[in-house]
Amino acid sequence: MAKEIERKFLVQGDAWRKLGTGSVYRQGYIATQKAVTVRVRIANNRGYLTIKSPIVNYSRSEFEYEIPVADAQEMLDTLCDRPLIEKVRYKIELNGLIWEIDEFDGDNKGLILAEVELSDAQQQVEIPEWIGEEVSTDRKYFNSNLAKFPFSKW
């Protein structure tokens, strides 16, 4: 089991674009009950099944398993709630941390979020100039909620 400790922010401007290249992600949610999520994802032609616990102090348990991409595609097509999450993820290394910038498409087009994973919840983070408001605890920005209540409907 891995522990995921991350902070999430809105992105402002375009300065971040020159810092990384993107990969297409498609993901959906099979179950989201009591803040536990079961996610299916295809990224870089690889399939994944992920189970995440509720968040406490920016931290949660995460169980992720690679699965055959054909199985992931079948699950996305038949088991996942709609709309699916479609996005391009950019990974940018700054000051020893990896920032993941998600530029959403589909029903969440126009939303750009940045996440940074930390080694502990109190870790200090140097915030880049292209980072805006922190939304780590705002549940409407969780991907599992964006699948239920897309940005285009806000």
Would you name the residues annotated as active-site residues? 29
Structure tokens at 58: 């920016």
d(CA 28, CA 83): 8
What is the DSSP code (8-state) at residue 144? H
Mapping DSSP onto H, E and C, the string for 24-90 reads EEEEEEEEEECCEEEEEEEECCEEEEEEECCCECCEEEEEEEEECHHHHHHHHHHCCCCCCEEEEEE
Spatial contact of 130 and 10, defined as CB atoms under 8 Å apart? no
Spatial contact of 62 and 78, defined as CB atoms under 8 Å apart? no
